[in-house]
């Protein structure tokens, strides 16, 4: 099993990247918590890898931090939670907030993540509440990516709908940020963080 990859970031999007390792390109699925801290394309990175093998499917999931990877594995241990949903859960809420929501039994906040119904939220809390005992440190580092302001908001809206949020709800969050912070210096990563915080309240 592949447990670690180090190489050149050839391409990145909100849910997957292509990592060039000695001339071989690996497609790696990543949560937003990792995406936020990726360098620009062409930069070098190291990722912790979880290799998912099922029948004829092999997928790689990458994380910049060990806590992210361990939380991903904990999510997979819950009945009914597969890699896609686990990644979506990590992308729908910052790691610290997710751990806090689980440990405090906050069903409403867990239920706000796309793909997580009430029963799934209750099951996640029931099965993980007493298993999350490690420290909740989270880096605020973000990659500095330049966008034209109009494109940046459009890209954020597209990212939110791709994550499963209803277009109407995503538009309201993006429009609020556009209106309240018209002169703020945004990156798409910072916009996504702010928009997600509005959507999961």
Tell me the pLDDT tens digit for each residue of 3-21. Answer: 899 999 999 988 889 999 9
Q: Is the pLDDT of residue 51 over 90?
A: yes
Q: Which helix (H) or strand (E) holds 11?
A: strand 4-12
Task: Taking residues 56-82, report their average pLDDT.
Answer: 90
pLDDT of residue 183 exceeding 70: no
pLDDT value of residue 124: 93
Neighbours of 139 (CB within 10 A): 12
β pairing state of 4-12 and 16-21: antiparallel
- List Cβ neighbours of 72 (8 Å cut-off, separation of 6 or more): 31, 50, 61, 63, 86, 87, 90
Q: What is the pTM for the complete model shown?
A: 0.68
């Amino acid at each position: 099993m592949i447990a670690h990859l180090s190489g050149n970031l050839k391409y990145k999007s909100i849910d997957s990247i292509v990592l060039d390792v000695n001339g071989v390109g690996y497609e790696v699925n990543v949560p937003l918590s990792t995406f936020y801290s990726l360098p620009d394309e062409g930069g070098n990175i190291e990722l912790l890898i979880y290799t998912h093998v099922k029948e004829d499917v092999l997928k790689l999931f990458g994380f910049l931090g060990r806590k992210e990877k361990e939380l991903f594995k904990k999510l997979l241990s819950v009945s009914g939670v597969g890699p896609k949903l686990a990644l979506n859960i990590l992308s729908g809420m910052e790691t610290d907030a997710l751990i806090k929501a689980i440990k405090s039994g906050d069903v409403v906040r867990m239920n706000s993540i796309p793909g997580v119904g009430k029963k799934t939220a209750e099951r996640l809390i029931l099965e993980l509440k007493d298993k999350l005992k490690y420290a909740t440190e989270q880096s605020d580092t973000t990659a500095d990516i330049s966008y034209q302001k109009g494109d940046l908001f459009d890209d954020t809206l597209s990212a939110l709908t791709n994550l499963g949020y209803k277009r109407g709800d995503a538009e309201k969050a993006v429009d609020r940020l556009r209106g309240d912070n018209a002169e703020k210096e945004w990156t798409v990563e910072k916009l996504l963080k702010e928009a997600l915080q509005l959507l999961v309240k």
